[in-house]
Amino acid sequence: NAGVTQTPKFRILKIGQSMTLQCTQDMNHNYMYWYRQDPGMGLKLIYYSVGAGITDKGEVPNGYNVSRSTTEDFPLRLELAAPSQTSVYFCASSPGQQETQYFGPGTRLLVL
């Protein structure tokens, strides 16, 4: 199993541009998550999903959108990139509620 994979690894965006961060897991996990991690800080939950077709907001959802059309994929969309969205983005998955989360390697995003 590849686990959780994320693409791209690094991206530079200009203010106002849009992009989609891709996340795929091959463990057949129902739960998937998107976090952002600012330098020297912990993880902040952006959005999560408890199954295909179901998504919900986390702590910091503004400026982002998600979709979950399949169990495997959970893309994160930035519509109008802002400097405040410069961060490292981690995708994770878990079999269910209150279970270990498995993290991807992260996407480093720089908005200039």
Partner 1 sequence: GESVGLHLPTLSVQEGDNSIINCAYSNSASDYFIWYKQESGKGPQFIIDIRSNMDKRQGQRVTVLLNKTVKHLSLQIAATQPGDSAVYFCAETPNTNAGKSTFGDGTTLTVKP
Which residues contact partner 1 by CB under 8 A? 4, 31, 33, 35, 40-45, 48, 50, 58, 90, 92, 94, 97-98, 100-106
* Whole-angstrom distance, CA of residue 36 vs CA of residue 46: 7
Shortest separation between residue 92's beta carbon and partner 1, angstroms? 8
Residue 96, token pair as written in the block = 């269910």
Kindly give the residue spans of alpha helices, DSSP state H, lying in 1-112: none
Q: Which is nearer to partner 1, 11 or 44 (CB)?
A: 44
Q: Which is nearer to partner 1, 78 or 104 (CB)?
A: 104
Cβ neighbours, 10 Å, residue 3: 13
The span from the first CA to the last CA of the chain, in angstroms, equals 36
Q: Which is nearer to partner 1, 81 or 106 (CB)?
A: 106
* Whole-angstrom distance, CA of residue 7 vs CA of residue 112: 20
Shortest separation between residue 91's beta carbon and partner 1, angstroms? 9
Shortest separation between residue 80's beta carbon and partner 1, angstroms? 26
